[in-house]
Amino acid sequence: MIDVARVRAETPGCERVLHFNNAGASLMPDPVWEAVTGHLALEREIGGYEAERAAAGALAGLYDELAGMLGAEPDEIAFVENATRAWDMAFYALPLGEGDRVLTHASEYVSNWLGMVQLARRRGVALDLVPSDGTGQVDVAALERMIGPRTRLIALTHVPTQGGLVNPAEEVGRVAAAHGIPFMLDACQSAGQMPLDVGQLGCRILSGTGRKFLRGPRGTGFLYVARELAERVEPPFVDLRSTRWTGPARYELAPGARRFENWESYVAGRAGLAAAARYARAVGLAAIEARVTALGARLREALAAVPGVSLHDVGVRKCGIVSFARAGEAPSATMRRLAGQGINMSVTPRSSALIDFAERGLDALGRASVHYYNTEEEVDRFAAAVAGKGA
Ligand SMILES: Cc1ncc(COP(=O)(O)O)c(C=O)c1O
């Protein structure tokens, strides 16, 4: 059981706002803020390089924390500035060429899809869109049927940016393993919201970000690549951290996932991300998932009771992201109205979910995303505010 009073006391933002934008960027808990500002203070006092050296032990803890959170080994983790670049570093490293095929789904994150479109244009890679099943999640049986001799990658977003769907990643992982195809999972919205184990998920690549459900600082992200795969691929960019310069025209790639990192990075952010992963693990990811799922379900129920509100989350398993619209009010207007009452939510525009929204005949949607530090009272207050009864 999560001590909600305690986690709220450690989250000063709770006193200022009703924050249902955890899928955008969560409110930071004190230990994360202290790690970031503590490191920045040290940089100010003794110098940036010197501070990094002084904090080397603590900074190395980032790999242990993230590996522990994902059931991976520390050398299979890279620190990257955000989830998009993490995904890109792995995707563009894969030897995909003319005629190779990638299987993906309409819930794929916009920037990942754009990267795939770029490789389709540049290298003639073919993209196969797996249909949704009757519930709206990726149709795993159809995915298996669509695997052909040139299928080289399965790319899936675990929890999409635009709603509460949790795709059946483990089932997809089993299919991928049975066919010997690398499975790449975008866990940007699921990391920090639910337990993730790369062994169980069957993914060989996983990307995530710091600021969302993990409650880390902005400008931080991470990448997991299974060692055997990492050591067979060449990252799209190399520098003096991802390689060792061994001769004027020679270099050796860094072992494991470290080859996907940059030399220069947001060091205070690294400290903050380590603190965020430690904090999430201490709270307990199974307990987090249970509470977030329950609060999400309560919010759907409360919003369903508001006249004119439609709910749009699909799939069998739903998480803490709730997508909705109120008849006669644009989602951006709902967001502005609630912001005036100290209530945070966000909006997914059509341009962020083009294929999915077109398939479902949707334009923009409101997005309210709860976390474990939110309360039942906040859920009810949010629904009342959407209804227009004030906060
Ligand atoms: C599912 C999903 N993947 C990837 C991203 C991109 O994350 P970042 O902004 O850290 O690059 C997002 C951001 O909203 C997301 O929702």
Please tell me the predicted confidence (pLDDT) of residue 111: 98
Share of the chain above pLDDT 70, in %: 99
Q: Whose CA is nearest to atom 7 of ligand 1?
A: 83
Count of residues making up the chain: 391
Give CA angle at 172 (96, 21), nearest 5°: 95
Q: What is the mean pLDDT of the chain?
A: 97
Q: How many A from CA of 38 to the centre of ligand 1?
A: 27
> Which of 22, 87, 88, 111 maximizes ligand 1 atoms within 8 Å of its Cβ, making it the mutation to test the pocket?
111
Digit-coded pLDDT (tens) for 84-118: 999 999 999 999 999 999 999 999 999 999 999 99
- Residue 328 has which token pair? 């006669």
Q: Which numbered atom of ligand 1 lies nearest the CA of 211?
A: 10
Are 225 and 232 within 8 A, CB to CB? no
Please tell me the predicted confidence (pLDDT) of residue 300: 98
CA distance 274 to 286: 19
Please tell me the predicted confidence (pLDDT) of residue 389: 61
Average pLDDT over residues 228-244: 97
131's CB contacts (< 8 A; 6+ apart) are 139, 142
Sorting pLDDT into bands at 50, 70 and 90, what band is 187?
very high
| Pocket around ligand 1 at a 6 A CB cut-off | 82-84, 109, 157, 160-161, 186, 188-189, 209, 221
Please tell me the predicted confidence (pLDDT) of residue 22: 98
Please tell me the predicted confidence (pLDDT) of residue 59: 95
> What's the pTM?
0.98
Q: Which numbered atom of ligand 1 lies nearest the CA of 84?
A: 11
Digit-coded pLDDT (tens) for 298-330: 999 999 999 999 999 999 999 999 999 999 999
70's CB contacts (< 8 A; 6+ apart) are 77, 196, 197, 198, 206, 224
Sorting pLDDT into bands at 50, 70 and 90, what band is 383?
very high
Digit-coded pLDDT (tens) for 328-338: 999 999 999 99
Intra-chain end-to-end CA distance of the chain, in Å:
28
> Which of 80, 84, 116 maximizes ligand 1 atoms within 8 Å of its Cβ, making it the mutation to test the pocket?
84
- Residue 212 has which token pair? 């969302």
Q: How many A from CA of 82 to the centre of ligand 1?
A: 8
Average pLDDT over residues 135-164: 98
For residue 391, pLDDT over 60 is answered with no
Rounded to the nearest 10°, the torsion over CA 106, 196, 198, 74 is 130
Q: Whose CA is nearest to atom 16 of ligand 1?
A: 161
Q: How many A from CA of 209 to the centre of ligand 1?
A: 7
Please tell me the predicted confidence (pLDDT) of residue 390: 47
Digit-coded pLDDT (tens) for 269-287: 999 999 999 999 999 999 9
**205-209 and 221-225 strand pairing:** antiparallel
CA distance 384 to 377: 11
Average pLDDT over residues 185-196: 98
Handedness of CA 256, 262, 268, 273 (dihedral sign): negative
Rounded to the nearest 10°, the torsion over CA 340, 346, 351, 357 is -120
Are 351 and 271 within 8 A, CB to CB? no
